[in-house]
Amino acid sequence: MDDYDVRSAASILASVKEQEARFERLTRALEEERRNVSLQLERANLPPERLSVCNMGGSQPLAWQQIVMQEQSPSNQTSLAMMQEPQELVEETVTIEEDPGTPTSHVSVVTSEDGTTRRTETKVTKVVKTITRRTYHPVTVTETLVESKPATPIAEIDPVTKMVKTVTTRTVRQVPLGPDGLPIPDGSSPLGSYTDSIDRRYMKNGDRYITPQATSTLTRSFNNYNDSYTENPEGQYRHYGLHDGYTDMSDNYGSLSRGVNYRPRYAYMPPNNYRPENSYTLPIRKDDYGHVAQPQVPMGSSNVELNRSQPERFHPEPYGLEDDRRSLGPEEEEAYELEPDYSTAGRRTLAGADRGRQMREPIREPARVRGGYEDPIEAELIDERHPYIPSVYTAPLAQPERGSMASLDRLERMGRRSPSIDSIRKDPRWRDPDLPEVIAMLGHPIDPVKSNAAAYLQHLCYENDKIKKDVRHLKGIPILVSLLDHPKAEVHRKACGALRNISYGKDNDNKVAIKNCDGIPALIRLLRKTNDMEVRELITGTLWNLSSYEPLKMVIINHGLQTLTNEVIIPHSGWEQEPNEDSKPRDAEWTTVFKNTSGCLRNVSSDGAEARRRLRECEGLVDALLHALQSAVGKKDMDNKSVENCVCIMRNLSYHVHKEVPGAEKFQDPTANQAPGSGGPQRKKKDDAGCFGGKKAKGRKNGENDKNYDTLDLPKRTEPTKGFELLYQPEVVRLYLSLLTESQNYNTLEAAAGALQNLSAGQWTWSTYIRATVRKEKGLPILVELLRSDSDKVVRAVAIALRNLSIDRRNKDLIGSYAMRDLVSNLPSGQQRPAKNLEEDTVVAILNTIHEIVTDSSENARSLIQAQAIEKLVAINRTSQSPRETKAASHVLQTVWSYKELRNTLNKDGWNKTHFQLTTAALPKGSKSGKPGYDDTTLPLMEKSQGNKKSGSGDVIPMDELGPDGYSTIDQRDKESKYKTGDGSGDVTEREPLKNDTNRKNFLRSNRPSVNLVDACDVKPQPVDSWV
Amino acid sequence: MSYIPGQPVTAVVQRIEIHKLRHGDNLILGFSIGGGIDQDPGQNPYSEDKTDKGIYVTRVSEGGPAEVAGLMIGDKIMQVNGWDMTMVTHDQARKRLTKKNEDIVRLLVTRKSLENAVRHSMLQ
């Protein structure tokens, strides 16, 4: 063989001699020790033999004892023999090892364990240590040799081997001597066989003697040790030398070592060692590679063939799957990393013939691989390997004709090691499991198979709607759901991951399928049970996905609201029910779990009055959300998704508080109710009251509030407010204003403005407070400033908020003076849209706000004229393509014209009555009277339209794909909102009816069917439902 | 779940025993029911057959006695302590469940998933 040619006999001899010398020294030292010890023992009046034996028996299992005895003495001989005839002797060595040895020296050694003579012990220990280390790090030995013999690295391997072996043998003998009288931990039981395996391996190498043996297990673990513990780069080299020739080994190695290796490598690019792994994750290279030589060490490939067929090779099968799973690891985290290999692999098979090579190109970055591949699992697999080999055969992966061989092939494919193998086994016996098989494997009795199958499913489903659908049709979803209750973390985690991917997307049938097999309670149950962050992220992510589908919202509320609140929202928000005075308040943690959960609640909070009621009454929820937001403001961290979710929930819960909150009637303001619809004077009176005296007036009605109302402080309460009452306490105004000032996130801005809009609507005491508080907190300039925002929906929300705020007379005056120009500048001038090009909805909202401001205030109408608005209004009225804009504009114009004192000015500017009349084309008279714009603002209906769009727009946050696609989905929300007539962000912007005037409602209805729908929803007699 | 009046009904049922929770003067079961022969069966979201006027579990409070006992939303209550619940008014059902002198109610319920499970196992 080449090895032999290369190797120079002299070098071998030299190294062998060196070793020989060392061994002799060691032997002598040991002999000495032994003599010493026995002498001492004799001196001490102990019956040495018996005692030592007793000790042995007590401390060690019998079998172990025997091994020790057998091996100890021959070792000396071995080393001697080896030195003389290195090459041939390798084999002999083994034989010798297996010979029962004479226990002579053993006695002494054991005796030393007694602990009577310290000196002896220490010395022995020392010896043991040195040698032991060698055993675990053959590298060390190699190094020595390399030093002595710088030439021909390959040649050295054999001598090294021998050295190792010999040393090992010795070590075995020493093991029972372990310092504390304990067997050396790592070595203990496997050590004997461990030695064995090493030897055999080397035999193969040197003597072309191939033994198909069952030692791969041990060998592997050996490799792991080697790999993970050696810092020496030699280790890598060594590793190659040893394994690459042995394809079978390295295959095994590849799969196993991943778990162990990854963590240490995490931070940097793994050196050579990494390459095999890459190829590992690229299962289908076979055809592409053809016969191209692999970069690895070429030796031994022919041997490999022989080994291939050995049964031992089946072990790794489960690992093959594990690798699948592993490759999924990152998928869960970073979608874009994922696409690479596995998906292609899977898709190729499932989807058909596409070989998809180019898709395989992006090779996974090592750093992306999660460290998450826990050692425990690894350990578990090792433990279970033997038991489940047989069942692997039954696994559907194996093809019928070849049985286990099929799985073997599969493994190789994965390993993708040696080209020659590929060439020989050209015929494609191996294939990816098809979908029914994978689903069948979910029910496999072996847990790792289940979890691997689930992981593979997750992977297959990633961004593939067809597969999701197929999984559903093949009834895979109920099985996955049932796995959620599986006690093994690995299994329920992977099942959950698969469900998360399946639940994502536009196909609501998948979501319904999860719900139909009680997936939602199962998820909630698991959430209560598990403390594993990753699992919790998966659960809440799945729920978030599910919550985007309207019919499931109530189901989630029914099963999970309190659990989500207690398990996630409250703990992560930092809110404490009973704050400890000593500890400072905790800040919110913007974890993924919190983000997911708040997103889920955000979605479900838009499900109508009942949903809002449930959320408001959910203990601790509002408190915790507020706390989280306050903490966000405190830390000036207001742009993240969690904050956005929280504000949106708050906004939605603030909708209709004045109607829906228990006890709201007490706070209703009777005068206010009649004010809006009725004519100017009456209204004016009310508004004046609102300015300053109004508070008193209201105070009179609700005697209790009197004092506080005057000062506009929060009404004093005997006990601190909590729960839903917090929603409309004037303190929240400052919070929302802070968000409006600081946040850069349009959705957050919109939601905060929407919350103010909701709170300032309606006629009840609290909204009066809120309107006044916004002014006192200098919120009006902040809002006006936001009219200049680039974001359409922000402008819209702010405009409507201003409109509601202007119910307060003082606010109306201020807004009229300071906001008019900004409002007007947002209007399109004629057909030519302004730079911002706002949507119809926004324009209508602004027109309605302007209308509100100029109503009952000729001063404001005057500022409107001064802001050059008439020209724009007339242009809109005449030329706008949108009937709604036309209506709203004409409405403003009519109001302006109604101020007789202004007509003079208007006439001077060249306007006449015709400009302020409805263009005949625009609308029939009847609807005109209806002030069409209002339908938009009076909006209980938004909700419905929202709902309909929801499935698309509603924050299906792509849990599984945070990649570019994922983002596009998020954005989609916004895109989607462009199509809607309703409002911008995917959440319910709920707008308050400004006035409850019946007239308006009428045309509102006629104008918009959706209104009716929504109302009908709420009004419809609910089926009787009794708590028992 | 459709059946012919007058014919015996075959249903896969599960026994559920709920220990009521005392809450002040009240005994709480921790779930709500919908349906009954005086109600509009079309509005029952849980029934397969929209003419089914049976009593259905519409909500189960988290952590409540009913949830602990394994009752699930959408379960159809067939019997309460031996009393038939498939032909009762909503109020009769409520009263059956809320008898002050009974601390324990034994329900016979059926649910889709149960039937499916049975059907499935019979097929295999």
**Do A369 and A329 meet the contact criterion of CB atoms below 8 Å apart?**
yes
Q: Which residues of B touch A518 (CB under 8 A)?
A: 72, 113
- Among the listed ranges A532-541, A728-737, B110-119, which one has the minimum average pLDDT value? B110-119
Q: Give me the amino acid identity at A354.
A: D
Among candidates A211, A169, A210, A170, which has minimal Cα distance to A193?
A169
**Do A282 and A341 meet the contact criterion of CB atoms below 8 Å apart?**
yes
- Answer yes or no: is pLDDT of A23 > 50: yes
- The length of chain A is 1028
| pLDDT for the residue numbered A860 | 92
Query: Which pLDDT tens digit goes with each residue over A792-840?
Result: 899 999 999 999 999 999 999 999 989 998 899 888 875 555 556 778 8
- Answer yes or no: is pLDDT of A879 > 60: yes
Compute φ and ψ for A426, nearest 5 degrees: -70, -40
Question: Smallest Cβ distance to A1024: which of B34, B59, B113?
Answer: B34
| pLDDT for the residue numbered A43 | 60
**Rounded distance between C-alpha atoms, residue A1012 and residue A25, angstroms:** 100
Split at pLDDT 50, 70, 90, the class of A1003 is very low
Question: Smallest Cβ distance to A518: which of B39, B58, B72?
Answer: B72
- Answer yes or no: is pLDDT of A15 > 80: no
The ipTM is 0.78
| pLDDT for the residue numbered A556 | 95
- Non-local CB neighbours of A636 within 8 Å, separated by 6+ positions: A742
| pLDDT for the residue numbered A659 | 85
Query: Which residue on chain A is closest to B36 by alpha carbon?
Result: A1024
Among candidates A135, A196, A204, which has minimal Cα distance to A167?
A135
- Answer yes or no: is pLDDT of A991 > 80: no
| pLDDT for the residue numbered A749 | 95
Among candidates A488, A538, A543, which has minimal Cα distance to A519?
A543
Cβ–Cβ gap A562/B63 under 8 Å: yes
Query: Which pLDDT tens digit goes with each residue over A67-77?
Result: 444 444 344 43
Characterize A561-570 residue by residue with b for buried, 16 or more Cβ atoms within 10 angstroms of its Cβ, and e for exposed: bbbbbbbbbb
- Answer yes or no: is pLDDT of A576 > 60: yes
CA of A519 vs chain B CAs: smallest distance (Å): 12
Query: Which residue on chain B is closest to A1020 by alpha carbon?
Result: B43
Among candidates A533, A532, A476, which has minimal Cα distance to A503?
A476
Split at pLDDT 50, 70, 90, the class of A385 is very low
Q: Which residues of B touch A562 (CB under 8 A)?
A: 62-63
Highest average pLDDT, of A212-221, A633-642, A668-677, comes from A633-642
- Answer yes or no: is pLDDT of A707 > 60: no
| pLDDT for the residue numbered A924 | 40
Question: Smallest Cβ distance to A1028: which of B44, B63, B97?
Answer: B97
Q: Which residues of A touch B59 (CB under 8 A)?
A: 558, 1025, 1027
| pLDDT for the residue numbered A582 | 60
| pLDDT for the residue numbered A644 | 94
**Rounded distance between C-alpha atoms, residue A92 and residue A89, angstroms:** 5
Query: What percent of chain A has a predicted confidence (pLDDT) above 70?
Result: 44
Report residue A1004 as tokens: 């509102």
Query: Which pLDDT tens digit goes with each residue over A164-210?
Result: 333 333 333 333 343 444 444 443 333 333 333 334 444 444 444 44
Q: What is the mean pLDDT of residues A20-24?
A: 80
**Three-state SS string across A456-486, please?**
HHHHHHCCCHHHHHHHHHCCHHHHHHHHCCC
- Which helix (H) or strand (E) is A607 found in, with range? none
Query: Which pLDDT tens digit goes with each residue over A387-409?
Result: 333 333 333 333 333 333 333 33
Question: Smallest Cβ distance to A1024: which of B29, B39, B113?
Answer: B39
Q: Which residues of A touch B39 (CB under 8 A)?
A: 1023-1024
| pLDDT for the residue numbered A715 | 57
Split at pLDDT 50, 70, 90, the class of A494 is very high
Split at pLDDT 50, 70, 90, the class of A876 is confident
For every residue of A356-399, DSSP letters joined together read: -HHHH-SPPPGGGS-TTS-HHHHHHHHHHHHHHHHHHHHSTTSB
Higher confidence at residue A931 or residue A769? A769
Higher confidence at residue A668 or residue B80? B80
B63 touches A: beta carbon within 8 Å? yes
Q: Which residues of B touch A560 (CB under 8 A)?
A: 62
**Rounded distance between C-alpha atoms, residue A330 and residue A119, angstroms:** 55
- Non-local CB neighbours of A736 within 8 Å, separated by 6+ positions: A647, A752, A753, A755, A756
- Answer yes or no: is pLDDT of A413 > 50: no
- Answer yes or no: is pLDDT of A59 > 80: no
**Three-state SS string across A240-282, please?**
HHHHCCCHHHHHHHHHHHHHHHHHHHCCCCCCCCHHHHHHHHC
Q: Which of B48, B59, B114 to mutate to test the interface with A (most CBs of A within 10 A)?
A: B59
B32 touches A: beta carbon within 8 Å? yes
- Answer yes or no: is pLDDT of A157 > 60: no
Query: Which residue on chain A is closest to B21 by alpha carbon?
Result: A1028
Split at pLDDT 50, 70, 90, the class of A875 is confident
| pLDDT for the residue numbered B50 | 83
Among candidates A887, A899, A810, A812, which has minimal Cα distance to A843?
A887
- Answer yes or no: is pLDDT of A549 > 70: yes
| pLDDT for the residue numbered A65 | 39
HSE of A886 in the Cβ direction (CA atoms, 13 Å)? Answer: 18
Across the A:B interface, residue pairs with CB atoms under 8 Å apart total 48
CA of A510 vs chain B CAs: smallest distance (Å): 17
User: How high is the mean pLDDT in each 10-residue block of chain B (124 residues)?
Assistant: 61 87 86 89 84 90 90 91 90 89 90 78 73
CA of A561 vs chain B CAs: smallest distance (Å): 9
- Residue numbers of B between 74 and 103 with CB closer than 8 Å to A: 90, 94, 97-98
Among candidates A470, A497, A472, A475, which has minimal Cα distance to A484?
A497
B58 touches A: beta carbon within 8 Å? yes
Question: Smallest Cβ distance to A1024: which of B29, B73, B90?
Answer: B90
Q: Which of B37, B47, B60, B62 to mutate to test the interface with A (most CBs of A within 10 A)?
A: B62
Query: Which pLDDT tens digit goes with each residue over A420-429?
Result: 444 444 455 6
**Do A678 and A763 meet the contact criterion of CB atoms below 8 Å apart?**
no
CA of A514 vs chain B CAs: smallest distance (Å): 12
Q: Which residues of A touch B102 (CB under 8 A)?
A: none
Report residue A267 as tokens: 């931070």
Q: Which of A562, A1024, A1025 to mutate to test the interface with B (most CBs of B within 10 A)?
A: A1024
Question: Smallest Cβ distance to A1028: which of B32, B63, B112?
Answer: B32
B113 touches A: beta carbon within 8 Å? yes
**Do B105 and B20 meet the contact criterion of CB atoms below 8 Å apart?**
yes
Split at pLDDT 50, 70, 90, the class of A762 is confident
Q: What is the mean pLDDT of residues A925-951?
A: 33
Q: What is the mean pLDDT of residues A888-894?
A: 90
B26 touches A: beta carbon within 8 Å? no
Characterize A349-383 residue by residue with b for buried, 16 or more Cβ atoms within 10 angstroms of its Cβ, and e for exposed: bbeeeeebeebbeeebebebbbebbeeebbeebbe
- Non-local CB neighbours of A124 within 8 Å, separated by 6+ positions: A30, A33, A109, A112, A174, A177
Q: Which residues of A touch B35 (CB under 8 A)?
A: 1023
| pLDDT for the residue numbered A367 | 33
- Among the listed ranges A255-259, A445-449, A691-695, A1006-1010, which one has the minimum average pLDDT value? A1006-1010
Report yes or no on whether pTM surpasses 0.80. no
| pLDDT for the residue numbered A915 | 82
Query: Which residue on chain B is closest to A562 by alpha carbon?
Result: B62
- Answer yes or no: is pLDDT of A1014 > 60: no
B44 touches A: beta carbon within 8 Å? yes
| pLDDT for the residue numbered A871 | 86
B19 touches A: beta carbon within 8 Å? no
Query: Which pLDDT tens digit goes with each residue over A265-294?
Result: 334 444 443 343 333 333 333 333 333 333
- Answer yes or no: is pLDDT of A151 > 90: no
